[in-house]
Chains A and B, each alone.
Chain A
Amino acid sequence: DSGVTQTPKHLITATGQRVTLRCSPRSGDLSVYWYQQSLDQGLQFLIQYYNGEERAKGNILERFSAQQFPDLHSELNLSSLELGDSALYFCASSAPGSVGAQYFGPGTRLLVL
């Protein structure tokens, strides 16, 4: 158990819909990262937040957005969903100063029908 929690574990929705994925980082970690894992794209970095502020952006679509709240939990919002958005979405967190050592949550499996 990494200490990172993600909800829900599974999500089934339809094209065009909007969903919100939630992540709680390990206690004391200030950084939260979101990754997408799909069969065709592999593991891709989406976005990073540090103590409530956006720190880095990767291959995140404009239909996707994220935020980190004062209690440090984070939400990833996916809108206008397409079939190709079906994937595993992982959240990871890291402690201040621990460059690169990220701890991953169990993921949310999203299926868009």
Chain B
Amino acid sequence: AQSVTQPDIHITVSEGASLELRCNYSYGATPYLFWYVQSPGQGLQLLLKYFSGDTLVQGIKGFEAEFKRSQSSFNLRKPSVHWSDAAEYFCAVGTQTGANNLFFGTGTRLTVIP
């Protein structure tokens, strides 16, 4: 069965500092991997996705993520955090069956301090 672990429940960074949010997945085959962001009171917005090919994927809002098969990881990074990045971030794994349903991690809440 597939699962996603986000080991950090809450991270605080200073504005302008770099950011890395961790995500580890468990899935028997090559996974489809996603990062979503949820601002307070909002739905989830897709930041980026990995299906195959280049293991470093670029997303919106200056985010990128790197797929490392050997570590079963898909960490999200941003070189310089903005105050507007404060939100909840979810990593998700999708299956390659026709179902396409996503399995989400528990989320990491990001606080940005001035």
- Which chain A residues have a beta carbon within 8 Å of chain B's beta carbons? 2, 4, 31, 33, 42-45, 48, 55-56, 58, 90, 92, 94, 99-107
Task: Report which of B46, B98, B105 forms a contact with A103, defined as CB distance below 8 A.
Answer: B46
Task: Report which of A2, A4, A48 forms a contact with B99, defined as CB distance below 8 A.
Answer: A48
* A90 close to B44 (CB less than 8 A): yes
With A42-B105, A42-B106, A99-B32 known, 13 other A-B pairs at CB within 8 A are: A43-B107, A45-B102, A48-B100, A90-B44, A94-B100, A99-B94, A99-B100, A100-B32, A100-B49, A101-B46, A102-B102, A103-B46, A105-B43
**B104: CB under 8 A from chain A?**
yes
A103 to B34, CA, bound (A): 12
- Which chain B residues have a beta carbon within 8 Å of chain A's beta carbons? 32, 34, 36, 42-46, 49, 51, 90, 94, 96, 98-107
* A56 close to B102 (CB less than 8 A): no
A48 to B101, CA, bound (A): 7
A29 to B45, CA, bound (A): 17
Give me the 3 closest cross-chain CB pairs, A-B, nearest first: A100-B94, A56-B99, A43-B104
Query: Given that A43-B90, A90-B43, A106-B43 are contacting pairs, would A101 and B49 also be in contact in the complex, using a CB cutoff of 8 Å?
Result: yes
Task: Report which of B49, B103, B107 forms a contact with A45, defined as CB distance below 8 A.
Answer: B103
Some 10 contacts from A to B, beta carbons below 8 A apart, are: A4-B43, A33-B102, A99-B51, A100-B94, A100-B102, A101-B34, A102-B100, A104-B44, A106-B42, A107-B43
* B104 close to A56 (CB less than 8 A): no
The residue on A at minimum CB distance from B32 is A100
The residue on A at minimum CB distance from B101 is A45
The residue on A at minimum CB distance from B95 is A100
